[in-house]
Amino acid sequence: MKSNRHMENVSRIVVKIGTSSLMHGNGKLNLQAIDQLSYTLTGLVNEGKQVILVSSGAIGAGMGQLGLTERPEQIQQQQALASIGQSELMTVYQQRFAAYGQRISQVLLTHDILDYPQSRQYVHNTIEQLLNWGVIPVVNENDTVAVNELDHRVTFSDNDQLSAIVAVRSHADLLIMLSDIDGFYTSNPHKDPHAKLIKELHQVTADSLKRAGGAGTVFGTGGMATKLTAAADILKHNQMMVLANGTNPSIIFNIMNGEEVGTLFISKENSEESNDDRVVK
């Protein structure tokens, strides 16, 4: 694939991976995806980059543990599932990253912590210290206490937005959002066979938001809408985001090589592209 994006100066990267990329359709953890993710992120750290992983999947992993095929409605059940699944998820991450000699840590956050200057400072200090030590912080929402964020019918806050907040606060050069789809399309490709992949977007407009629909699987939550809101936040802070397919997380290497994969969200001033938002023909 042609290399025409400039990622040479990217040194701090936030990677967000969604539940749909971490789970099989039958509710089991996708160990191959987790292994490739661990291998790839360790590879980036070995190259001298600083990496923060924002990983969903706690509720999905909890559902898998209990053999549930539908996400329960009750908040307390979702929270209990997250509590079961988070420790399973971290156990698997710990094992796979350790196989590549990479240290990781767990950071559980709620959105409101970041609204309080002192807590925000503590989070900032901790993450900076971890990155200085070459550790990969693995961030998730602290689902047991984050009641509003769990009920996606009431609010649309979730890990997509959390990853943007983390990327903004940590002044990351790039947010890579991995999902179960190749990028942002002109409409939901699972419903519209004529949907076309948008390669680059400079602005999240009301029209782009209209094109974004809900989650694709029972395990996914926010769908495309929360990814676009995250992208809007990133663009507001003059940062970059790539939305790409996480089926094979080593796609991150292609992104870092500047290859044209997924959808790049970048301000017009920072873009190499003279055309407006490009659509694959």
Ligand X SMILES: N[C@@H](CCC(=O)OP(=O)(O)O)C(=O)O
Q: Tell me the binding residues.
A: 16, 56, 143, 159, 179-180, 221-227
Annotated binding residues for substrate, as ranges?
A: 56, 143, 159
- Site residues for ligand X, 136-165, by CB under 6 A, read 140-141, 143, 158-159
H or E segment at 17?
strand 12-17
DSSP 3: B
Shortest approach of ligand X to residue 236 CB, angstroms?
A: 21
Residues in the chain: 281
Shortest approach of ligand ADP to residue 168 CB, angstroms?
A: 19
User: 154: buried, middle or exposed (CB in 10 Å: 19+, 13-18, 0-12)?
Assistant: exposed
DSSP labels for 68-91?
Answer: -SS--S-HHHHHHHHHHHHHHHHH
Residues that bind ligand ADP (CB under 6 A): 18-21, 179-181, 184-185, 187-190, 211-213, 215-217, 220-224
Give the residue with the Cβ less far from ligand X, 19 or 36: 19
Annotated binding residues for ATP, as ranges?
A: 16, 179-180, 221-227
Q: Does 58 bind ligand X (CB under 6 A)?
A: yes
Contact criterion met (CB below 8 Å) for 103 and 135: yes
Give the residue with the Cβ less far from ligand X, 134 or 214: 214
Residue 184 touches which of ligand X, ligand ADP, none (CB < 5 to 8 A by kind)? ligand ADP
Give the residue with the Cβ less far from ligand X, 140 or 271: 140
Shortest approach of ligand X to residue 19 CB, angstroms?
A: 3
Residues ≥6 apart with Cβ < 8 Å to 234:
164, 167, 168, 175, 240, 241, 265
- Site residues for ligand X, 62-101, by CB under 6 A, read 82
Q: Does 53 bind ligand X (CB under 6 A)?
A: no
Conformational region of residue 93, where left means phi above 0, alpha means psi within -120 to 50, and beta covers everything else: alpha
For the chain, what is the largest distance between any 2 Cα atoms, rounded to a whole number of angstroms?
52
Q: Work out the angle at residue 91's Cα, subtended by the Cα atoms of residues 85 and 93, and round it to the nearest 5 degrees.
A: 100
- Identified binder of ligand X from the candidate list 5, 13, 14, 19, rule CB under 6 A: 19
Span from 42-50, 194-202, 219-227, 251-259 in contact with ligand X (CB under 6 A): 219-227
H or E segment at 201?
strand 198-201
Give the residue with the Cβ less far from ligand X, 36 or 56: 56
Q: Does 261 bind ligand X (CB under 6 A)?
A: no
Shortest approach of ligand ADP to residue 174 CB, angstroms?
A: 18
DSSP labels for 35-52?
Answer: HHHHHHHHHHHHTT-EEE
Query: Which of 168, 141, 279, 159 has the alpha carbon at shortest distance from 215?
Result: 159
Give the residue with the Cβ less far from ligand ADP, 41 or 177: 177
Q: Which residues bind ligand X (CB under 6 A)?
A: 18-19, 56-60, 82, 140-141, 143, 158-159, 220-222
